[in-house]
Amino acid sequence: MAYILFIDDNRDVQKLLSIAIKRKKQHDLTPASNGEEGIALAINRKFDLILLDIMMPDMDGYEVARRLRAEPRTQHLPIIMFTSRAQTADAEAGLEAGANAYLSKLASVDDVLKTIDDVIAESRSKQPAPTETPAAPPTPQPAAPAPESVATAPLPPPGRSLCILGCRGGVGATMLAVNIAAAFTRRSRQVCLIDLWHVSGHAAPMMRLPSKPSWGDLNSDLNPNAIGSALIKHPSGMRVLAAPAQPQSVGLSGEAFNSITKILPTFFNEVIFNASPSLDAATCMALTYSERILLVLAPEVTTVPAAAAMLGFINSLNVPSHRVRVVLNHPTQNSSAPLPAIERELNHPIDAILPYDVSQPRALAQGIPLAFTPTTSAVPPYLSGLAMLLHKI
Partner 1 sequence: MIASQARLLKSINGEFFTSVYRITGRVSFSGLGLFSVLSDSTRSAMMIEDAYISHITQPSTIISHRASVHVPKTSLDLMVFGKSENTGIEAIRSNIARVTRHKVFMATNTFEILGLLDAAMGKFDPELFLTNVVSVFIPVLNVSASAYFLPKAIYSGEVAFVNRALINLITAED
**What's the min distance (Å) between Cβ of 109 and partner 1?**
15
Catalogue the E-assigned strands of 260-351: 270-275, 292-297, 324-329
285 sits in the region (left: phi over 0; alpha: psi -120 to 50; else beta) called alpha
Q: Between 12 and 51, how does the x/- string for binding to partner 1 read (CB under 8 A)?
A: ----------------------------------------
DSSP states of 44-75: HS--SEEEE-S--SSS-HHHHHHHHHHSTTTT
Question: By rule CB under 8 A, what string of x and - marks binding of each residue 61-100 to partner 1?
Answer: -x---------------------xxxxxxx-xxx------
Q: What are the two backbone dihedrals, phi and then psi, of residue 263, each rounded to the nearest 5 degrees? A: -95, -50
Q: Determine what percent of the chain falls in helix, strand and coil, rounding each to the nearest 5.
A: 40, 15, 40
Minimum CB distance to partner 1, residue 139 (Å): 47
* Residue number with CB closer to partner 1 (57 or 374): 57
First-residue to last-residue Cα distance in the chain: 36
Q: Which listed residue (18, 104, 258, 278) binds partner 1 by CB under 8 A?
A: 104
Find the shortest distance in angstroms from Cβ 86 to partner 1.
7
Backbone angles phi, psi at 328, to 5 degrees: -100, 110
Instruction: For the CB of residue 5, give the shortest distance to partner 1 in the complex, in Å.
Output: 21
Tell whether residue 55 is a contact of partner 1 (CB under 8 A).
Answer: yes
Our finding on whether 8 is near partner 1 (CB under 8 A) is: no
Sign of CA dihedral 278, 283, 285, 287: negative
Question: Does 365 sit near partner 1 (CB under 8 A)?
Answer: no
Peptide bond preceding 157 in cis form (omega within 30 of 0): yes
Question: Rounded to the nearest whole angstrom, what is the least distance from the CB of residue 11 to partner 1 in the complex?
Answer: 13
Site for partner 1 contains 106 (CB under 8 A): yes
Binding site residues, partner 1, CB under 8 A:
54-55, 57, 60, 62, 84-90, 92-94, 104, 106
